[in-house]
């Protein structure tokens, strides 16, 4: 399904909940595929499933993209774990994540992330998102939480 998501609307990269599930960071199954794109937001309902494309600024779109392999050795674009977290924060509305404790609670209780799996992640992606100028306070708290896990 990630390959279909990349082809259906582009440029796009599978991210947010879909990438977090792919990397084994959240326990829940994810229905549909969520991707990010520098283009307009879009959704598609196909016989293969639901595909959602959320707009993020072009300045942070290419940050943290990986090429992954799936069934049949098909290759597709997938967000790194840190990019998926940054995109999730950018796309989550009506949540205040301006303190260390609020961010930790969001990660542990709302997203139900396996915090042990977040150790040793590359923080350069968070720094590049901060330079993008959106939700800088929340991204700073994400950086602080990730640094505390090391």
Question: Helix H segments across the chain?
Answer: 2-8, 16-22, 81-91, 100-105, 124-131, 136-148
Strands lying side by side in the sheet with 42-46: 42-46, 49-55, 33-37, 13-14, 75-79, 65-69
CA distance 65 to 77: 7
- Do the Cβ atoms of 144 and 105 come closer than 8 Å? no
Residue 129 is encoded by which pair of tokens? 């998102």
**Which helix (H) or strand (E) is 33 found in, with range?**
strand 33-37
Per-residue pLDDT of the chain (150 residues), as tens digits, is 889 999 999 899 999 999 999 998 987 777 899 999 999 999 999 999 999 999 999 999 999 999 999 888 889 999 999 999 999 999 999 888 989 999 999 999 999 998 888 888 889 999 999 998 889 999 999 999 999 987
Residue 26 is encoded by which pair of tokens? 């959240």
């Amino acid at each position: 399904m990630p390959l279909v998501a990349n082809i259906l609307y582009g440029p796009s990269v599978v991210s947010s909940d879909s990438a977090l599930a792919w990397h084994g960071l959240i326990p829940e199954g994810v229905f549909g595929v969520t991707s990010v794109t520098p283009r307009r937001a879009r959704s598609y309902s196909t016989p293969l499933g639901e595909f959602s494309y959320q707009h993020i600024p072009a300045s942070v779109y290419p940050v943290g993209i990986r090429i992954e392999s799936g069934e049949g050795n098909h290759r597709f674009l997938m967000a790194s774990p840190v990019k998926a977290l940054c995109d999730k924060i950018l796309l989550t509305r009506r949540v205040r994540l301006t303190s260390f404790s609020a961010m930790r609670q969001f990660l542990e209780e709302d997203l139900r992330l396996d915090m042990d799996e977040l150790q040793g992640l590359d923080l350069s992606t968070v720094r590049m998102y901060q330079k993008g100028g959106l939700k800088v306070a929340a991204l700073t708290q994400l950086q602080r939480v990730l640094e505390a896990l090391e």
